[in-house]
Amino acid sequence: MRTHEQTVQQQFDPRAEAYLDSAVHSGGPDLEYAKVLVQRTAARTDQALDIGCGAGHLAFALAPYLGRVVALDPSPGMLATVSSGAAQRGLRQIEVRQGSAESMPFPDGLFPLVCTRYSAHHWTRLEAAIREIRRVLAPGGHALLIDALGAEDALTDTYLQSTELLRDVSHVRNRSRSEWRSLLHSVGLEEVEHREWPTRLEFSSWVARMRTPADRVAAIRTLQEAAPREVREALAIEPDGSFILRTGLFWLRGAT
C-alpha cells in the first residue's frame, strides 16, 4: 500500500506538463499581486524559497525580482519541468531541490522570502510544514502563502472536500480563512495583508489535468447533482459541473 508521499509523486510526475499549461496555475490575479508584493520588498540580491513549486509558475513570476529562487518539490517530474521552463525563459537564478514541506533541507533563517502556491492542500502535517516555513524564514522576512480555501460553512465544505478528493486522491484539505489565520498566528507569523479572489474551475479541463478515472468523474457529477441548493449556490455549480472556489493570499512577516 502506498504512502501519501508516494501517492503525490504518482499523481503529479506524469502530469507536470499539464500543470505547466494549466490556465488556473499559469495566471490569475493572485499571481499578479504576488509580483506586486515582492517588488515592494525584495532587492535583486535577495533569495527566495518556493515550496511545493509544482510546474514553477510562482518561481517564474518572482525570479526577475530576485537574485536566487530555490524551487522545492517532492516530484522529480515537476522539478524537471521547472528546470526546463526556467532555461527556456532565461531564468538562470532558479535552482531546483527535491524535498517535502514538512522537513526541509535548509538551515534556520536562510531565506528572506518563503513562498508557496496551490500546494498546502496536499500537505499531511500542515502545522509541521508551517513551523518549517517559520524556521527557514530570515528574521523580519516575509512569507507568501496562496492556496484554494475551504468553506467556512460546514455543509458546503463537506461537498467541496469530497469533490476535491474524488478528483485527486493526493488531496488532503483546503483550509478555510479562519483555520489559516489561527494556525499562522500560533506559529508566530504576523498577517500583513490578506486577499481573496473567485477562481472558476472549468470541469472538463479540471478532471482531465489529473486524469481522473471515469467512475470518479461520474461520482463527482452525482455528488454535485445531489447537492442542496445552498451548496450549489455557494460553489456556483454550473450544468456542466464547472464551479467556483476561492483563492486566498496571505502576506506574512516573521518576528525580527
Q: In what order do the strands lie in the sheet with 111-117?
A: 94-98, 68-73, 47-51, 111-117, 137-148, 243-253, 190-201
User: The domain containing residue 121 runs over which residues?
Assistant: 4-150+172-199+246-253
pLDDT for 9 beyond 80? no
In a domain, 66, yes or no: yes
pLDDT band at 23 (very low <50, low <70, confident <90, very high): low
Top-confidence residue, 29 or 1? 29
pTM, whole model, 2 decimals?
0.90
In a domain, 213, yes or no: no
In a domain, 208, yes or no: no
- Helix or strand or coil: residue 256? coil
pLDDT digits (tens, 9 = 90+) for 37-82: 999 887 766 899 999 999 899 999 999 999 999 999 998 989 999 9
**Are 57 and 31 within 8 A, CB to CB?**
yes
Q: Given this model, what pLDDT does residue 64 score? A: 94
Round the average pLDDT of the chain to a whole number and report it. 91
In a domain, 164, yes or no: no
The CATH number for 29's domain is 3.40.50.150
How many domains, the chain? 1
Q: Given this model, what pLDDT does residue 42 score? A: 74
In a domain, 234, yes or no: no
pLDDT for 251 beyond 60? yes
